[in-house]
A and B are shown apart, each in its own frame.
Chain A
Amino acid sequence: MMRYLRTCNILRVWRRFSSISAESVPVTESITNDIFRTNESNPVNHRVEHNSRFYSISEPVKKQLFAGGGLPKEYQSLSETLNGLCIMVRKPAIELIHYLNKTNFDAPVLRYVLYGKTGVGKSLSLAHVVHYGSSAGFVLVHVPWVPKWFQYVKVATPSSVHANKYDQPIEAVEWLKHFSTQNGHLLHKLELKTSNTYTWSKREVTAEGSPLSELIDLGLNRAKYATGCIVALLDELKRAASSKQCRLLVVIDGFNSFFSPKSNVIREDKSMVLPSDFLLTDALLSLTRNDWNNGAVVVSVDPSAHPPELRESPLPRYLLGKTGFEHLDPFVPIEVQNYNDKEFRSQIDYYIERNWLQQPKARTDNGQAELSFTSGKHPYSLMRLVAPY
């Protein structure tokens, strides 16, 4: 370690001048401080110039935005190991930020669909967009990972609001907590009010004109009505956005799960409860329709959000199916691809600088060529390859 630090300080030999068989030439490192990082930590200001650079998200912001989910688990634990959350600014996120900056908010909402193979960086692009939305003053409706609502449902009860639908009390309460953490201070500032009376039971009524925070609190305290509260809340937010009281950004990861043919909930007669039988599905499908304005809808479709038999293709038409595609059509498709050369180099430099990629030989040109080949510049594969060494 000591030897390496001294070498790093004395021999700032650039990558281009290293030789292939490294026995005789000292190991070359690419410790160039500024190439793979950027100081711009406000995503509103991210532009094409920031591409392939890492920007850091401070702890309080991370807790506020992603405490309820949104970052892939392995990436989150890696960021904790590497002493700080940094996300790479990449083309899909830059494209989205550009579009969101230039949106005509009087027109009906535009739907953006991020697609690509599993492990290519869709969730992190969405996380970047969530951070942007929060910095730009949008009210965030962020569903971190939809399959969690259908594949791993803890309890599903028949709905108190709608006869043939099902509730997910525990997941609903969790999501309300996530929503209030993300948007707490903004809602307080905006002072949005309900436009209807909601009767939950004989004694529990949310009157017209009461603040939305009351609705959220009711849902947090009474799990039985949490799902109903979410439906009401999303309805109110849609109305508020259309009447220019707030600007809404809907971000949903794993959207194709709403159209999946499987869930883990089975009725007494052994028939499966489909995702379309849940009340939350209806609420979010209504929100992702383009019958409102003053907002945007950013959605991702992932093969891993479907059961294993339905992961043949990463393309939106296949994953959404006929109903899903017709629901979202017309949308703006944005492909998230593997790393290009610049992004790959930047990622390796980041791993080296954070002392994650330890093997001296892996830092040479030869090593990087090998990593590039064996990972195929696929972000997740690269992360797994680099992890043990």
Chain B
Amino acid sequence: MSLSGLLRTLPTLNAINSSLGSLSLLSRQPYSMYKPFVKEPVYNIEQLDKLIESGEAKKREFVPVKAARNDHNVSVFYDDLTSKFINMVMVKGQKELARNLVEMGYMKVKQIQLAKYYEATTDAERAEIELNPITIFHKALENCSPVLQLTPIKRGGSTYQVPIPITENRARFLAMKWMILECREKERKIHFPERLAFELIDAFNNTGKVVKRKQDLHKQCENNRAYAHYRWG
């Protein structure tokens, strides 16, 4: 059996119980094709330098590592969130198109902000204008991420929308999803990159439709707070 086959066999219940007995099944990804001891690769050069300095690298020398992803790289332009976002924009496996759309969006963000920058007359005004599209993107996602979410819970024949806490991953996913859906809205005279640019800048300033959607969700959660205890039956 090949090494990759060995690494990728789904762990049986016996294997889980015998190898890391104290850890519960829930703490491990049950659908991962990799065995638990297989490490995530480190791409970032600075992180690698740190590992070497601190001596961690020596410990990792003979630990198997997961296969490299196509989109992960050591480029100075690599941003995790952007990569995730591009994947979510992608449809039918058209990665290049998705990447071009998002990159065009970033360029448009820069164009809009630079227009404001060069129109500004004082240094103070100029200092306030954020020009980095990645910073704007991160802040926009932060502003669009909900803090609670609603889940349907059946009690006595009726289904109630109950507010429950949200994980970081889920919140980030919702923010990105809402952003993309907003950019794909009907009347496509304005194409995706321009819409993305406008939406990102609006969300950065805590205005716009995506932030409104998050705030509506929060309002709904607030309205349904009476049912919060349904979470525990």
- With contacts A23-B46, A83-B118, A359-B77 known, is A388 near B103, CB below 8 A? yes
Beta-carbon contacts under 8 Å, B24-82 to A? 45-46, 49-50, 75-77
Q: A359 with B127: in contact, given A22-B46, A81-B111, A389-B134 (CB under 8 Å)?
A: no
Contact B76 A367 (CB under 8 A): yes
B117 within 8 A of A: yes
List the A side residues contacting B104 at CB < 8 Å.
388
B117 and A355 contact, CB distance less than 8 A: yes
Residue of A23, A361, A367, A370 touching B50 (CB-CB under 8 A): A23
Say yes or no: B49 contacts A21, CB within 8 Å.
yes
Tell whether B130 is near chain A: CB-to-CB under 8 Å: yes
- Residues of A near B146 (CB, < 8 A) are none
Q: List residues 344-389 of chain A with CB under 8 A from any CB of chain B.
A: 355-356, 358-359, 361-362, 364, 366-367, 370, 374, 387-389
Interface size on A, residues (CB 8 A): 23
Closest residue of chain B to A367 (Cβ to Cβ) is: B76
Report B-chain residues with C-beta under 8 Å of the C-beta of A364: 76
Check if B132 is an interface residue, CB within 8 A of chain A. yes
Most B C-beta atoms less than 10 A away, residue of A2, A358, A364? A358
Cβ-based interface call for B129 (8 A): yes
- The 19 sampled A-B contact pairs (Cβ below 8 Å) are A1-B127, A21-B45, A23-B46, A23-B50, A81-B115, A355-B114, A358-B131, A358-B132, A358-B133, A358-B134, A359-B132, A366-B45, A367-B76, A387-B107, A388-B77, A388-B102, A388-B104, A388-B107, A388-B110
Cross-chain contact B76 with A5 (CB below 8 angstroms)? no
For B103, give the chain A residue with the smallest CB separation: A388
B76 interface neighbour in A2, A21, A362, A388, Cβ under 8 Å: A362
The distance in angstroms between the C-alpha atoms of A185 and B232, with both chains bound, is 86
- Which residues on the B side are within 8 Å of A361 (C-beta)? 76-77
In the assembled complex, the Cα of A361 lies from the Cα of B76 at a distance in Å of 6
Chain B contacts for A388, CB-based, 8 A: 77, 102-104, 106-107, 110, 133
A355 contact set on B, CB distance < 8 A? 114, 117, 131
Given contact pairs A1-B127, A5-B127, A370-B76, A358 touches B110 in the complex (Cβ within 8 A): yes
CB distance from A379 to the nearest CB of B (A): 17
B49 to A23, Cβ gap below 8 A? yes
* Inter-chain contacts of B114 with A (CB < 8 A): 81-83, 355-356
What is the minimal beta-carbon distance from A169 to any residue of chain B, in angstroms?
Answer: 32
| B residues near A366, Cβ cutoff 8 Å | 45, 76
**Which A residues contact B (CB, under 8 angstroms)?**
1-2, 5, 21-23, 81-83, 355-356, 358-359, 361-362, 364, 366-367, 370, 374, 387-389
Query: Is there an interface contact between A356 and B77, defined as CB atoms closer than 8 Å?
Result: no
> In the bound complex, what is the Cα–Cα distance between A374 and B134 (angstroms)?
20
| Complex-state Cα separation, A361 to B117, whole angstroms | 22
With a cutoff of 8 Å between Cβ atoms, the chain B residues found around residue A21 in the complex are 45-46, 49
Dominant SS among interface residues on chain B: helix
Which A residues are in CB contact (< 8 Å) with B77?
Answer: 359, 361-362, 388-389
Report whether B127 and A2 are in contact in the complex, using a CB–CB cutoff of 8 Å. Answer: yes
Which residues of A have CB within 8 Å of B131?
A: 1, 355, 358
Q: How far is the CB of A367 from the nearest CB of chain B, in Å? A: 4
In this complex, the member of A21, A82, A389 whose beta carbon has the largest number of chain B beta carbons within 10 angstroms is A389
Q: Which residues of A contact B106 (CB under 8 A)?
A: 388-389
**Given the complex of chains A and B, what is the CA–CA distance between A23 and B127 in angstroms?**
25
**Chain B hits for A81, CB < 8 A:** 110-111, 114-115
Bound Cα distance from A336 to B130, whole angstroms: 37
**C-alpha spacing A387/B107, complex, angstroms:** 6
Of the candidates B45, B49, B133, which one forms a contact with A389 in the assembled complex, judged by CB atoms under 8 Å apart? B133
Chain A residues near B45: list those with CB within 8 A.
21, 366
Residues of B within 8 A of A367 (CB): 76
Q: Once bound together, how far apart are the Cα atoms of A22 and B76, in whole Å?
A: 11
Instruction: Please name all residues of chain B whose beta carbon is closer than 8 Å to the beta carbon of A83 when the two chains form the complex.
Output: 114, 118
Task: Give chain B residues whose Cβ lies under 8 Å from the Cβ of A370.
Answer: 75-76
User: B71 to chain A: closest CB distance in Å?
Assistant: 15
B49 cross-chain contacts in A, Cβ below 8 A: 21, 23
A166 to chain B, nearest CB (A): 36
Q: Looking across the interface, which residue of chain B has its beta carbon closest to that of A369? A: B76
Residue of A nearest to B106 (CB): A388
Q: A23-B46, A359-B77 are in contact. List 9 more A-B contacts (CB 8 A).
A: A2-B127, A5-B127, A21-B45, A23-B49, A356-B114, A358-B110, A358-B132, A358-B134, A388-B103
A358 nearest CB neighbor, chain B only: B132
Minimum distance in angstroms from A373 CB to a CB of chain B: 10
> Could you say which residues of chain B place their CB within 8 Å of the CB of A23?
46, 49-50
Shortest A79–chain B CB gap in Å is 12
